[in-house]
Structure 1
Amino acid sequence: MVTGGRVPRPAASERLTIKASAIVKLPHLEWVNQDSPYLRQHQQGFRGLRFDDELEQTFKRYHANVFLRRMRWALLVATLLAMLFVLLDAINMPDPLRGQVLTLRLGVIQPLLLLAWVATYQRSLRDHLQWVGGLVALLSGLAVAGIIGLARYHSFALPYEGIILVTVFFYFLTGLRFTTAVLCGWLTLLAYLAVELSVGLAGELLLSNVLFLTLANIIGSVGCYSLEYATRQNFLAHGLLQDLAEKDFLTGLLNRRAFTERAELSWRQAQREKQALGVVMMDVDFFKRYNDHYGHAAGDEALRQVSRVIGEHARRPLDCAARYGGEEFVGIWYGLTEEQLLTIMENIRAGIEALALSHVGSDAANVVTLSLGMAYVTPQTHQSLEDALRLADVALYLAKEQGRNRVVAKKQAS
C-alpha cells in the first residue's frame, strides 16, 4: 500500500541531456522493456533516415533542441563573414558592379541571416527551424550565384570558390538535416551552372568549376548523412536510457519514481489552474494466489496485459499511469469531471475482466480482476500529492472490503 514518504526527485546528475557531439552508448537491450518504441526502431533500423511517424516527430524536436545553439552560432558567424565580404566588395569592385553586388549582400543575404538568427529565439518557430534555415541557406546560395553572374557579366575577376564555402557551410555548420541540406546544396549547384551558362563561361573552365562544386556537394551529402545517422543513433540511445530510468522493465509503464515526478507536475499545474484530479490506486485481486497456482512466468504475462489496458486509458499529456510495486498500479487523470473519471475507471476494470485470464484461486471472479480506489480532489495549497494518494489508498481498501473487482471513489474533505 501507500506509505507517507515522498519519493525523491532524480538528482541533476541523473537527468539525461545530450550534447550534439556526445556519443551515447546503448544500454544492454535485454534490460529494456520489449514494448519500447525506441527498442523497436533500433531493431528495425533507419537507413532511410526515417523513424516511425510518432517517433519521427519526437526526433525532430530532439534534433531542434540539440542543434539549436549550433544554428545560432552558425548564423551569427555567417552574418559577420557576410559583412566582411561587404567591406571587401565595397573596396575592390568598380561601379556599377559595386552597387549591384552590395544590393544583393545588404538587401538579401544579410537580412535573411539576421531574420533566421532572430527566429531561433522564437519558441513558436522551434518546430519549423529546419525549413527556416533551409530557405535562408538556399536563398543565400542563389544570391551568391547571382553575385558571381554579375561579376562575370561585368568582366570582373571574382573567385567562384565563395560558392563552395557557402555549400560546405550549410552542410556542416548550420544544423540542417540531410534532406534539407541536400536540397539546398544541389539546387545551389544548378543555379550556379545556369548563371555561368547564361554569361557564356568557357567550357573547360566551367567544367572544372562545376566538377569541384559537385565534389563539394558529394562530400557534403555523405558527411551530412553520416552526421544525421549518428544523431539518430544518439536519439535512440537517449530514449532507451530514459526508458531504463523511467519505465518499469516488466510492464513498460512508468516506475514509481518517474510517476511521482510527473504527478507532482500535474498536481502543481492543477493547483495553479484550479483543476480537478483523479488519483487512483489499483491492485490485481488475489495475485499471490495467481502466482502460486500458475507460476511466476504466467504472473508476469498477466501483469503485462493488465498494464497495457491501464496504459491505454492514460494517454493525454498530463495523465500518467505507473506500476507502483508488485501487483499495485497507480495513475493520475487531469481536469475531468467525477463522472468522466468513474467511466474511465469502470472501463479499465471491465477491460481487465475482458482479458479473460483464468484465475481459479480468486474469490472475486473466475478470471483476473482489478480493484480500484479513486480520490477525486481539487488540489489546495495546504494539500500535497501524498494526501491524495493516501485518500486513494483508503478508497482501494474499501473496494477490497466490499468484495473486490470494483471501483470506489472518495472526495477530499471540504
Structure 2
Amino acid sequence: MKLPHLDWVNQDSPYLHQHQQGFRSLNFDGELEQAFKRYHANVFLRRMRWALLVATLLALLFVLLDAINLPEPLRSRVLTLRLGVIQPLLLLAWLATYRRGLRDHLQLIGGAVALLCGLSVAGIIGLARAHNFALPYEGIILVTVFFYFLTGLRFTTAVLCGWITFLTYVAVEVGVGFDGELLLSNALFLLLANVIGSVGCYSLEYSTRQNFLAQGLLQDLAENDFLTGLLNRRAFTARAELCWRQAQREKKPLGVVMMDVDFFKRYNDHYGHAAGDEALRQVAQVVGEHARRPLDCAARYGGEEFVGIWYGLSEEQLLAILESIRSGVEALALSHADSEAAKVVTLSIGMAYLSPQPQHSLEDALRLADVALYLAKEQGRNGVVSKKQIGRATG
C-alpha cells in the first residue's frame, strides 16, 4: 500500500513517528507493536486456516503412501508419529483459529505446531535411516518452506522453527551414522532453504508492517484534524454516536461539551494567522490531555471551536475537568491584547449534562451544549456553564 503524502499527516501521529524512525528490526514502539500484532493476526487469519487445512490433507496423503510403501516395523512407528503427533497437532491448530479467545495466541500456537511437526519429520527420517530404508529427505524441505511462507508466522517465530528443525535434522542424521557426503549435500540444501525462507519471511513481514503504517496514516488523515491532531468533526460524530448508544444501554450520564476560544478573530487580526494556528495547537493539546479515557473524546469542531464528550462521570467531576481545561488554557499565557475577557488567550465552555433517553439524540445534546456556551459568553467569557435542560442552567 502506498504511503499518503507525509506533509498532510498530523505531525504527532504515532504512525508517522514510527515511519520516520524506521523498523529494520521488525519491531514497533510501545502500543503500536501490540496494534500491529492484532492487525497481523486478522490479515493472516484466513491464510493460516487454509494452510493448516492443506497441511492436514497433505499429511493424510503421506500417511497413505507410508502405509503402502513402508515395511514393518518401520511402518507402525512412522504412522504412530504421523497419526499420533502431526495430524492431531495440525487439526488442533486449525480448530484454534476459530476460537476468538485464542486469536492473540495464534503465533505461539502456530509456531509450536510448526516446530513439533518439523521435529517429527526429522524423527521419521531418522527412523527410516535406522531401519536402512531409503526414505526421501526432501519432505523436510517442503515442511520448512511451508511454515516460512504459507502459515502466516511472523519472522522471528518462523526463523526459530526453521533453524531448530535444520539443526535437529543434522543431529539425527549424524546420530544414525548417515553417509558424510550425502549428509553434507542434504544439509546444504536444507540450509539454503532456511536462508531463502528467512530472507523471504523478513521481506514479507516488512511489507506487512509498511501496509499497517500506511493504513494508520490514511486513517489519521481521514479522522484527525491536520492542524491540532484532535479528531475532526466527522470522526467525532461517529465516535460520539457509539458512546451515546452505549450510555443509553448502560444508563450512564454523559457530558457533551462545546468550547470556543474567546475573541479569536481579533487574535488572528492582531498577531497573524501563523500565530493563530499555533495558539489553536496549544489549546487543543490542553483539551486533548483531559480526554484520554477509552470512551472520552475531543475534536476540533471548526475554526476556533472544540467539542468533547465525557462518559459516566458525575456533574461535579465533569465541572472539575472543564475548569481544569479552562485554567490550563489560561495558564498557557498566550498574550491577547485585543481580548475583553483577559490579557491572555482564554476559553469559554458550555456543557450539556444528561443521561441519554430514547427521545433524545446527540444533536439535541450538542444544541443544549451550544446554549450553555452562549450563556458562558454572555456571562463574560473565560468560564464554564453547565446546562441540564432548556431553561435551567448552573455556572
Counterpart residue identity of residue 108, structure 1: V
Q: Give the equivalent residue in structure 2 for 1:124.
A: 101
Letter in 2 for 1:295: G
1:233 to 203, 210, 215: 210
Q: Secondary structure at the match of 1:279?
A: strand
Q: Give the equivalent residue in structure 2 for 1:201.
A: 178
Map 1:270-349 → 2, pairs under 5 A: 270-349=247-326
Map 1:19-168 → 2, pairs under 5 A = 24-168=1-145
Which among 370, 374, 381 is matched to residue 397 of structure 1? Answer: 374
User: What secondary structure is seen at the aligned counterpart in 2 of 1:46?
Assistant: coil
Task: Supply the distance in 1 between the matched residues of 2:51 and 2:24 (Cα, whole angstroms).
Answer: 28
Deviation (angstroms), 1:175 = 0.8
Corresponding residue of 1:246: 223
Deviation at 1:257, TM superposition (A): 0.5
> Aligned partners of 1:60 and 1:229: how far apart in 2?
13
Displacement after TM superposition at 1:412 (Å)? 4.3
C-alpha root-mean-square deviation of aligned residues, in Å? 1.3
Q: How many angstroms apart in 1 are the aligned matches of 2:132 and 2:54?
A: 30
Instruction: Give the % identical residues.
Output: 84
Displacement of 1:250 in angstroms is 0.5
**Length-normalised TM-score, structure 2:** 0.96
For 1:123 and 1:100, locate their aligned partners in 2 and report how far apart those are by CA, in whole Å: 36
SS at match of 1:254: coil
Distance 1:349 1:97 in 2: 81
- Specify the code of the residue in structure 1 equivalent to 2:178: L
Corresponding letter in the other structure for 1:214: L
Helix, strand or coil: the match of 1:288? helix
How many angstroms apart in 2 are the aligned matches of 1:116 and 1:185?
A: 18
- TM-score normalised by structure 1 residue count: 0.92
- Higher RCO, Cα 8 Å, sep 6+: 1
Q: Which residue identity is paired with 1:42?
A: H
Distance 1:86 1:234 in 2: 40
Counterpart-to-counterpart distance in 2, 1:356 and 1:313 = 19
CA–CA distance in structure 1, aligned partners of residues 354 and 74 of structure 2: 73
Return the offset for 1:189.
Answer: 0.6
Deviations 1:319-361 (A, max 9, x none): 1111000001111111222222222212211211111111111
Counterpart CA distance in 1 for 2:169 and 2:316 is 66
Structure 1 CA distance for aligned equivalents of residues 158 and 386 of structure 2: 56
Flag the 1:196–1:403 CA change in 2: closer, same or farther, 3 A.
Answer: same
Distance 1:357 1:348 in 2: 15
Shift of 1:410: 1.5
Q: Which runs of 5+ in 1 are unaligned?
A: 1-23
The code of the aligned residue for 1:319 comes to D
User: Over residues 377-396 of structure 1, what are the superposed CA-to-partner deviations in whole Å (9 max), with x where a residue is unaligned?
Assistant: 21111211111111111111
Secondary structure, counterpart of 1:374 in structure 2: strand
Q: What does the per-residue CA deviation read over 1:189-231, in whole Å, with 9 as the maximum and x for residues that have no partner? A: 1111111111111111111111101000000000011111111
Which digits, 9 at most, give the CA deviation of each residue in 1:2-25, with x for residues without a partner?
xxxxxxxxxxxxxxxxxxxxxx11
The CA distance in 2 between the partners of 1:222 and 1:367, in whole Å, is 58
Q: Render the CA deviation track for 1:291-333: whole Å, top value 9, x for unaligned.
A: 1111000000111111111111112222111100000111111
Alignment of structure 1 residues 168-179 onto 2, 5 Å: 168-179=145-156
The amino acid that maps onto 1:50 is N
Instruction: Provide the rounded CA distance (Å) in 2 between the counterparts of 1:38 and 1:379.
Output: 35
Query: Which residue in 1 is equivalent to 2:160?
Result: 183
The separation in 2 between residues aligned to 1:339 and 1:238, in whole angstroms, is: 40
Q: Which moved more, 1:324-333 or 1:86-95?
A: 86-95
1:11 alignment counterpart: none
Runs of 4+ in 1 over 2 A off after TM superposition: none
| Alignment partners' CA distance in 2, 1:110 and 1:378 | 56
Shift of the alpha carbon at 1:252? Answer: 0.9
Tell me by how many angstroms 1:405 deviates: 1.3
- Asked if residue 258 in structure 1 is aligned to residue 235 in structure 2, the reply is yes
Structure 2: tracts of 5 or more residues without a match:
none
SS in 2 for 1:87: helix
What are the superposed Cα offsets for residues 66-103 of structure 1, whole Å, 9 maximum, x if unpaired? 11111111111111111111111111112221221111
Letter in 2 for 1:323: R
- Between the aligned partners of 2:139 and 2:65, the Cα distance in structure 1 is 13
Q: How many residues align?
A: 391
